Amino acid sequence: MATEEILIPDIGNFDSVDIIEILINVGDVVASDDPMLTVESDKASMDIPAPYGGTIKEIKVSIGDKVKEGSLIALIEKAEVPEDKPKEKPVLAEEASTEVSDVPVPTRPVPEPPQTIAPMDKPLPVAESVLVANDKISHASPSVRKFARNLGVNLGFVKGSAPKNRIVIGDVEAYVKSELTKPRSDDMGTHFAPIAMPNIDFSQFGSVESKPLSKIKKISGANLHRNWVTAPHVTQFDDADITDLEAFRKSMKKEAEKKDVKLTLLAFLMKACVNALRAYPVFNSSISPDGESLIMKDYFNIGFACDTPDGLVVPVVKDVYKKDVLEIAYDLGDLSNKARERKLKMDDMQGGCFTISSLGGIGGTKFTPIINCPEVAILGVSRSAMQPIFNNETQAFEPRLILPLSLSYDHRVVDGADGARFTTHLRSMLSDVRRLLL
Ligand code: CAO
């Protein structure tokens, strides 16, 4: 097979142009018309195509060299295939914009490129690409544009490393690599992607041990993270005077025990929450999957966060509205036992409308619970404590048992005013046991 010289072809009215990129390596097998080099004048860039197919034996130029028509580029071992198409003269990018540009030049003003990154798996539609990737913003040769276009990369987002910020193939590859290593999220099209967590070797600071996460922790962790980033949370705090309620509960405890029921505060809280959900039905709703409407629920199933040795689970007490406090307390005890013995069935954890997370048996004054989406609100309950409360009628401080409430709600669905109305309603229910049990 013959070794042939490849020369710079007729490049029009240019005496000399700079080589800005070499797209071939020794040993590469190229086909006729494959781009070999990119050259640039002071006005535009162009690719120099291979005149015929074959194997590159030697490269005779370097980046930065000045070349003109007839300059020797490379030696090629010509493949023995018939030439089937006539050679075309290479054209400067500015002379042939439709061939060399990956997008049409916009006819409307071009805004600044957006700061967010276009997801790699969903290339921008052409109309959007036009806004950010055009010759005014990204400076790249036709072959680089073609390469980027094949990968769905919007050049408006790629930083050029060559002189005059020109984008070369390596820049596109580096951009793709950096995008692929970023954490991804498919969160309702918000393109929210937090920066990667640093990978720290903690053993450099002291002795460490690696413990695998339980299955429950992995599942609940993923759900909590999704809910946290999906629903804009607001937490409304309030205090309820439960002095009378606690006195009543304690007076009923023995009677409940005879029926094998532990009458806990949580049962009363469930009753109060259903009363508030009926008064403010928006709290008993979910956003439809398309985000266009609210699904209002006519049933009242209340979930409760339950701490187990394996992690957090949320069993659901069904039809709370139709049950009295003893029945609710019975269900609570039954579900809590099942949760701790890992005997909960799928059905025991489905169908919730609203959740209560009670840390009162443990301690703490206030906390901000994460909504159990697609529910739209959750009530956090902290430890009750005796406090001196001023009585306007007697004009004196009185010791009262105060229960701290923390209501987190999804601000896409619930307004702040309704959040405050809901907790006000709750506290009035909890402060007046007669109304609660009506
Ligand atoms: N203030 C003061 N004392 C409280 C209280 C409160 N708000 N709530 C409960 N207590 C007391 C109770 O009076 C009870 O004492 P008695 O037996 O004398 O009545 C004691 O604490 C233990 O209560 P309990 O925890 O057994 O019962 P409960 O109904 O209050 O709670 C359950 C049940 C399942 C909610 C609870 O066991 C639990 O798992 N809590 C943790 C929930 C959790 O992890 N939430 C965080 C989720 S977000 O990460």
Cis, peptide link before residue 119, omega less than 30° from 0: no
Class of domain 3-83+90-98: mainly beta
264 lines ligand 1 (CB under 6 A): yes
pLDDT of residue 125: 30
Could you read off the pLDDT tens digit of each residue along the chain, which spans 438 residues? 678 999 998 887 777 888 888 888 999 998 888 888 888 876 677 888 889 889 999 999 998 899 988 999 999 998 876 554 455 555 554 433 333 333 333 333 333 333 323 333 333 332 222 222 333 446 787 788 888 888 888 888 888 888 777 888 888 998 988 888 766 555 455 555 678 889 899 999 999 999 999 988 999 999 999 999 999 999 999 999 999 999 999 999 999 999 999 999 999 999 999 999 999 999 999 999 889 999 999 999 999 999 998 889 999 999 999 999 999 999 999 999 999 999 999 999 999 999 999 999 999 999 999 999 999 999 999 999 999 999 999 999 999 999 999 999 999 999 999 999 999 999 999 999 988 887
Please, which residues bridge with residue 304 across strands? 356
Within the chain, which residue ranges are assigned CATH 2.40.50.100? 3-83+90-98
Ligand 1 atom nearest to CA at 362: 21
Ligand 1 centre to CA of 239 (Å) is: 17
Q: Name residues whose C-beta falls within 8 Å of residue 87's C-beta, 6 or more positions apart in sequence.
A: 9, 51
Residue 419 backbone dihedrals phi, psi, to 5 degrees: -60, -45
Within the chain, which residue ranges are assigned CATH 4.10.320.10? 129-183
Class of domain 215-437: alpha beta
Place of tokens 């109305």: 421
Kindly list the catalytic residues: 411
**Secondary structure of residue 216 in the 3-state scheme:** helix
61 lines ligand 1 (CB under 6 A): no
pLDDT of residue 329: 97
pLDDT of residue 90: 52
Which residue of 239, 241, 265, 370 sits with most ligand 1 atoms within 8 Å of its CB, as the best mutation to test the pocket? 265
8-state DSSP, 140: B
Ligand 1 centre to CA of 48 (Å) is: 76
Q: What is the CATH number of domain 129-183?
A: 4.10.320.10
Residues 226 and 373 sit within 8 Å (Cβ to Cβ): yes
Please, which residues bridge with residue 387 across strands? 400
369 lines ligand 1 (CB under 6 A): yes
Within the chain, which residue ranges are assigned CATH 3.30.559.10? 215-437
